[in-house]
């Protein structure tokens, strides 16, 4: 781009006023974890190692040159090694000369506001009455709760800023008693294959699926046997028997377990091999079962808030206008039919 004026002893700056500028940023993560699914215990995940790193650089050149950038990252291995690093640098002289004929302004990014629509996708129950007492409350989030992620943001001065976020969620279930007072109910949380978080009343009993019975070996008796304990003979080859001199095999005589029928040709087809055995696999865990009270009114409130890591602390992430990135969804429902409200009127004469 063509600039006017002088800077840091160069007049004109660049090559006859022409200079180049630009920035570049990147971010990457890697991790390893082990997850246990099913059984009599809850699903559990162990994070073995995680690594996250990012960097950005911005430069202007030539005559004079300027470069600024930073590199940062975090590593956690077996909860033994937990280190973070951040290094910034700046060299040269930055010039603020106006472009000849004006230049298109650089738009300030707002990556915090971009996450607003990714917090809560939906909350079930969707019905207001006759909600089944054994059905879990389901919530689908657009982001993974408590998972740290970085986003690069374009600044108005042309530089790139790397911002670190995570989403925290707060589910709250309340039940109304006979005196119209609301009390908080403790919740358990699990996650299904659809990525939904399923919430059930704390202390509810989930039906345990019966263990799979071992497969019974069905035996077939040999030739001429009934329901014996022998096994069917396996034919591993195809046998062709030519009857010499045009002769024939007597009716009823068998070759390889199959009668020739006087055709002068005996065929024995290979039996399909048995399916592979994978050992004793654990049974598929039963879905979580809720334990709501019959004919009760509930309200389920889910709040998701975006947090940003700044100066060693997690604080509320703010948009460019200074407002926090948060979302709250409330669902009111009843495990019985609609309540009939009786009203009395008094007429005065």
The DSSP result for 59-108, as a single string, is EEESSS-EEEEEEEEEEEETTTEEEEEEEEEEEE----PPBTT--PPPPP
Residues of the domain holding 332:
107-206+285-339
If you search the block for the tokens 């995680």, which residue do you land on? 50
Look at residues 70, 326, 35 and name the one whose alpha carbon lies nearest to residue 190: 35
- pLDDT, position 171: 97
* Residue 254 located in a structural domain: no
Q: What is the pLDDT along the chain (349 residues), one digit of tens a residue?
A: 777 778 888 888 888 778 888 888 877 888 777 777 766 666 677 777 888 888 889 888 888 888 888 888 888 887 778 888 788 888 888 887 776 655 556 788 999 999 999 999 999 998 999 999 999 999 999 999 999 999 999 988 878 899 999 999 999 999 999 999 999 999 999 999 889 999 999 875 443 333 333 433 433 344 444 444 444 444 444 444 444 444 444 444 444 444 444 455 555 667 788 877 766 777 777 789 999 999 999 999 999 999 999 999 999 999 999 999 999 999 999 999 987 665 555 666 5
* Residue 143 located in a structural domain: yes
Same domain? For 120 and 166 the reply is yes
Same domain? For 37 and 114 the reply is no
Same domain? For 100 and 119 the reply is no
| Ramachandran sector of residue 136 (left: φ over 0; alpha: ψ -120 to 50; beta: rest) | beta
| Ramachandran sector of residue 126 (left: φ over 0; alpha: ψ -120 to 50; beta: rest) | alpha
- Look at the chain and report how many structural domains it folds into: 2
pTM: 0.50
Same domain? For 84 and 3 the reply is yes
Taking the C-alpha atoms of residue 269 and residue 259, their distance in angstroms, rounded to an integer, is 13
Same domain? For 100 and 115 the reply is no
* Residue 346 located in a structural domain: no
* Residue 279 located in a structural domain: no
Question: How many C-beta neighbours within 10 Å does residue 1 have?
Answer: 15
**Taking the chain, what is the end-to-end CA distance rounded to the nearest angstrom?**
90
Same domain? For 97 and 125 the reply is no
- Among 53, 88, 104, residue at a domain's last position: 104
């Amino acid at each position: 781009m063509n600039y006017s004026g002088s800077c840091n002893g160069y007049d004109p700056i660049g090559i006859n006023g022409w200079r180049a500028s630009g920035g570049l940023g990147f971010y990457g993560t890697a991790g390893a974890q082990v997850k246990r699914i099913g059984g009599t215990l809850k699903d559990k995940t162990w994070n073995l190692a995680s690594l996250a790193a990012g960097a950005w650089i911005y430069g202007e050149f030539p005559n004079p040159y300027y470069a600024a950038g930073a590199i940062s990252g975090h590593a956690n291995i077996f909860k033994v090694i937990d280190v973070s690093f951040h290094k910034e640098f700046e060299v040269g002289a930055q010039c603020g000369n106006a472009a000849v004929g004006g230049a298109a302004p650089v738009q300030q990014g707002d990556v915090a506001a971009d996450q607003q629509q990714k917090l809560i996708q939906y909350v079930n129950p969707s019905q207001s009455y006759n909600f089944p007492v054994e059905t879990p409350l389901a919530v689908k989030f657009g982001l993974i709760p408590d998972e740290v992620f970085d986003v690069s943001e374009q600044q108005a001065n042309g530089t790139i800023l790397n911002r670190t976020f995570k989403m925290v969620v707060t589910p709250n279930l309340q039940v109304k008693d006979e005196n119209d007072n609301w009390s908080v109910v403790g919740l358990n949380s699990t996650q299904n294959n659809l990525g939904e978080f399923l919430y059930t009343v704390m202390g509810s009993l989930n039906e345990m699926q019966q263990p799979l019975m071992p497969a019974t070996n069905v035996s077939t008796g040999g030739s001429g046997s009934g329901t014996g304990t022998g096994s069917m003979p396996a034919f591993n080859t195809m046998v062709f028997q030519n009857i010499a001199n045009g002769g024939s095999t007597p009716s009823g005589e068998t070759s390889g377990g199959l009668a020739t029928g006087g055709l002068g040709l005996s065929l024995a087809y290979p039996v399909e091999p048995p399916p592979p055995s994978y050992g004793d696999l654990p049974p598929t865990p039963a879905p979580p079962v809720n334990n709501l009270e019959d004919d009760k009114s509930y309200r389920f409130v889910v709040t998701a808030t975006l947090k940003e890591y700044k100066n060693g602390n997690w604080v509320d992430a703010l948009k460019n206008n200074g407002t926090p990135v948060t979302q709250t969804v409330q669902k009111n429902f009843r495990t019985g039919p609609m309540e009939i409200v009786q009203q009395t009127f008094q007429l005065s004469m």
